[in-house]
Structure 1
């Protein structure tokens, strides 16, 4: 598998830490498995992606460049993350399906890598999804709900349930985050509650309840609230609704690297998050966390370690979130929860091994 030509499609180049971490995890896995792979990433910001990851890139909306890259490749990887769902946008789902379809039409090996699939609301898109995925070479999904959805849809390809690829990353050095927090003048002696939120539907109502809860925690638990942007500057705008300039609330209004974000989260006593990969970073850094659900992917991840979301944006329960946070600050997570996280980390490493076996089998049986 020397000099294998690989094209990777995903939501890359948009300053979303979760997706950039996903790309980092996939690249590390590929470079550790293939002999000098020739990798091209389809990116919304080709220059930035090329500089950050040392790969070839093509612009996300350059049809001719994408077609040339796929035509000259050996393998197309779609993933990871929640690419195949139409809640955020049906147009984006059609886009990612189009990339997969090009790979199939050009008779390339096509592999879905650690995907979280669904919901898919529109019947016509479900029909397209079924027919396209029945022609790919391999599928790994990050939760059993995604596998069940595809099976009910009528996808007959073998589907492997693994875990989110980001869980295969190594933890970050805690000193990196400590320096960032010290530079911002955040009191080291106080309990640190990380908050990773984003704008979502009906933002005003649930955000007002969340604001009251975090301010109550800051006041009654002598804690500081640290708003952590997983996508900059979008998350900064959402976090400012928590009370810019108020005592006890700090805003990390900067575009941090994946390693910096992981280390910052590693310095928290608890993280409250509606960003999936903020929760995953917490798991990697062994920081207790509570999920605020806005999308099934949050509930699906929490279910993997036997948890449920503390509350949701649809039915924000500030009192429950407050009580759950106090409990976590007092006792942390159960040892069994961390054992489940360790098991997920092992399963995350299976993604590339499954890919390798499929590629090897196809080379031996062309």
Structure 2
């Protein structure tokens, strides 16, 4: 089967690269020798890292190659991740929403089937974005979404033609390889209590949450002797925010900042060694959950809240603009002091999510490979 993957690939975002690795690994595990082409901003790097064919994803060049790949393809997989949204400005042909939908349109013109794969939908609030969704998203042949909210939201936008099934984020089917490069880079002695911290820039609440987070980390260092380690899931943006948090701390000298060049697999293996993860980044939280690590989210988006409800940790987490430093400290101390108890709750929830994530590929086979069996 010839498959083209369209997503936010080749731009250095650890979460999206984890999505790509999970899709490629699971396609290869379940399908008979799939022929995979990835649309990427860094096609040479993507081809080398994942052992796939790769074509430049933007419109500036490589358009003949994109058309050629789609004409040969049996299926375009759009996703996973939060591709279909207009948080960033959406104009006639610019912004993520029109880009991904125009790739769908191009695929249909080239005769390929289209599957929205393990996607989180929205927000789509602009008039132009809603028109684009109603026209082009209805061209998809089949849709899986990572939570019920996304399915309901998709239907509210008038996208009802393709069948839509709720599964889970494909990163729950992530297949890690043992690799301690990120951990080893810190030169630790092995008996530290580690807290992974995965911040990100955000429009309205950045300065406020940075001050609160800095205070909480100082208190955790004083009260529990932890070593906070900042994990930049999307450099340089997350690196810059991490440094801003450290500048507000009394005990910044008792923190560490991971480098920017680690792979999703290396970040995963580092987070697996921590006692607690505090994060805005969704896939840092998912890595923690997959490793049975208690996690506290600061939710800047419905996708983070939806995940935390499914992992069982929403009661210990907060909307980004609605938490006090005292409550965050209280919940962090509880998580550190009751790790075994929280793991007993997390493990069965994650097993459900892992099985739901694997269903994305099972459903792809049922929908698009029936005639080939």
Secondary structure at the counterpart of residue 139 of structure 2: coil
Q: What displacement does 1:354 show?
A: 0.5
Q: What displacement does 1:121 show?
A: 0.7
- Give TM-score scaled by structure 1 length: 0.92
Match of residue 317, structure 1, among 324, 334, 345: 324
Distance in 2 (alpha carbons) for counterparts of 1:231 and 1:41 = 20
Match of residue 110, structure 2, among 106, 110, 115: 106
Q: What displacement does 1:102 show?
A: 1.0
**Structure 1 unmatched runs, 5+:** none
Secondary structure at the counterpart of residue 297 of structure 2: strand
Distance in 2 (alpha carbons) for counterparts of 1:313 and 1:49 = 33
Q: What displacement does 1:318 show?
A: 1.2
Residue 46 to residue 223, structure 1, CA distance change in 2 (3 Å):
same
Distance in 2 (alpha carbons) for counterparts of 1:252 and 1:334 = 25
Distance in 1 (alpha carbons) for counterparts of 2:106 and 2:185 = 48
Q: What displacement does 1:60 show?
A: 1.4
1:41-78 Cα offsets, whole Å, 9 max, x none, are 00011111011001111111233322222122211110
Residue 266 (structure 1) aligned with residue 272 (structure 2): yes
Residue 248 to residue 360, structure 1, CA distance change in 2 (3 Å):
same
Alignment of 1:116-131 (within 5 A): 116-131=120-135
- Residue of structure 1 equivalent to 2:191: 189
Residue 83 to residue 362, structure 1, CA distance change in 2 (3 Å):
farther
Distance in 2 (alpha carbons) for counterparts of 1:183 and 1:134 = 47
Distance in 1 (alpha carbons) for counterparts of 2:185 and 2:47 = 30
Match of residue 288, structure 1, among 278, 284, 294: 294
Checking the alignment, whether the CA contact within 8 Å between 1:97 and 1:132 is kept in structure 2 is yes
**Structure 2 unmatched runs, 5+:** none
Distance in 1 (alpha carbons) for counterparts of 2:196 and 2:317 = 15
Distance in 2 (alpha carbons) for counterparts of 1:204 and 1:152 = 34
Secondary structure at the counterpart of residue 120 of structure 1: coil
Match of residue 58, structure 1, among 55, 58, 62: 55
- Residue of structure 2 equivalent to 1:243: 246
Q: What displacement does 1:185 show?
A: 3.4
Checking the alignment, whether the CA contact within 8 Å between 1:310 and 1:320 is kept in structure 2 is no
Checking the alignment, whether the CA contact within 8 Å between 1:233 and 1:255 is kept in structure 2 is no
Residue 96 to residue 180, structure 1, CA distance change in 2 (3 Å):
closer
Q: What displacement does 1:133 show?
A: 2.4
Alignment of 1:25-174 (within 5 A): 25-61=22-58, 62=61, 63-90=63-90, 91-156=95-160, 157-173=162-178
Q: What displacement does 1:171 show?
A: 4.6
Residue 10 (structure 1) aligned with residue 7 (structure 2): yes
Q: What displacement does 1:103 show?
A: 1.3
CA RMSD of aligned residues (A): 1.9
- Residue of structure 2 equivalent to 1:352: 361
- Residue of structure 1 equivalent to 2:208: 205
- Give TM-score scaled by structure 2 length: 0.91
Q: What displacement does 1:172 show?
A: 4.8
Checking the alignment, whether the CA contact within 8 Å between 1:171 and 1:284 is kept in structure 2 is no
Q: What displacement does 1:320 show?
A: 1.1
Q: What displacement does 1:334 show?
A: 5.2
Checking the alignment, whether the CA contact within 8 Å between 2:182 and 2:267 is kept in structure 1 is no
Q: What displacement does 1:337 show?
A: 2.9
Q: Across the two proteins, how many residue pairs are aligned to each other?
A: 358
